[in-house]
Amino acid sequence: MIAFTLKRLGSGVLLLAVICTVAYALLFANGPSIARNIVGDQATAEQVAAKQTELGLDQPLPLRFLSWVGDAFAGDLGRSWFGPITVSDALVTRLPVTLTLIATAMIFVTLIATTLGTAAAVKRGWIDRLVQVGAIVGDAIPGFVVAVVLATIFAVQLGLFPAVSSIAPGAGADAWIASLTLPVIAIVLNYVTASAQQIRSAVIQQRERDFVRTLRSRGLGDGEILLRHVLRGAAPAGLTVLSLQFVGLLGGAVILERIFAIPGIGQLAITATVNGDIPIVMGVVVYTVALVVIVNLVVDLLNGWLNPKVRVS
């Protein structure tokens, strides 16, 4: 198990290193273009060159990258080019908002999808059809369109929720709940049927396994067999789809935060992208990939813990 953990951890660190290198090369390579983007089309060549020097973009790329890596190890991801704030500060104040949104939504998705998927597999009938049709509908309508419709009806037209999030430093729990309810509903609507569908297939597959019949022949109850044996066997498949959805939401949150005006990482990323605030964009990439690595590691470990073949050997 320790060797297994170290191997997964190593793979994650490698992923982080490769992505950081590629992203840095992509974002910082074209010094003149970056400087031109900031000072504007009307600026003279001298102004562009001055900006380049000011931002240190005239140095060779490998040198800049090495110094960035050195600072990053010390926890310093640089400063914003557009305001008196470090990249880390900008990210750390916004990260809790985004993570709260994603984590809350995923908890609901997990609970509802597991219940729906298991019920569909065991009971079949109308609930099964609901899951099947729901999965197609969920695939067919882009999530942000659902979110836009929800925002229009419930926030703008009916005024039941704030159209602009009231989350701010020091805001109370009621502000968080009021601001996050609609986006969480939007995520759940968009994600729940897809994961329910996966869980349904996994449960159906598990129920057909030989040992389930043998357990029944031993006199164990259907409820115990379902909870202890069938769901346990279906858990890795469910974990995989839920972790993929979690990672997908790290991107999807960008659009949701825009629609519901939530001050999270996504809003920061959009503003930085439009302005050309490259250090912030780089910071967003680093944080996101780090989160992906952590989520994947946790899922790998959970799977290892669930599966005795990995755990014992």
Which residues are near other proteins by CB under 8 A? Answer: 15, 18-19, 23, 26-27, 29-30, 37, 136, 139-145, 148-149, 152, 156-157, 209-211, 213-221, 224, 229, 232-233, 247-252, 254-255, 258-259, 269-270, 272-274, 276, 278, 281-282, 284-285, 288-289, 292, 296, 306-309, 312
Q: How far is the CB of 41 from other proteins (least distance, A)?
A: 12
Compare residues 140 and 173 and give the one whose CB is closer to other proteins.
140
Compare residues 29 and 171 and give the one whose CB is closer to other proteins.
29
Secondary structure (DSSP) of the chain: -HHHHHHHHHHHHHHHHHHHHHHHHHHHS-HHHHHHHHH-TT--HHHHHHHHHHHTTTS-HHHHHHHHHHHHHTT---B-SSSS-BHHHHHHHHHHHHHHHHHHHHHHHHHHHHHHHHHHHHH-HHHHHHHHHHHHHHHHS-HHHHHHHHIIIIIIIS-SS-SS----TT--HHHHHHHHHHHHHHHHHHHHHHHHHHHHHHHHHHHTSHHHHHHHHTT--HHHIIIIIIHHHHHHHHHHHHHHHHHHHHHHHHHHHHHTT--SHHHHHHHHHHHT-HHHHHHHHHHHHHHHHHHHHHHHHHHHHH-HHHHH-
Q: How far is the CB of 131 from other proteins (least distance, A)?
A: 14
Compare residues 115 and 307 and give the one whose CB is closer to other proteins.
307
Compare residues 27 and 176 and give the one whose CB is closer to other proteins.
27
Compare residues 53 and 157 and give the one whose CB is closer to other proteins.
157
Q: How far is the CB of 217 from other proteins (least distance, A)?
A: 4
Q: How far is the CB of 97 from other proteins (least distance, A)?
A: 16
Q: How far is the CB of 113 from other proteins (least distance, A)?
A: 19
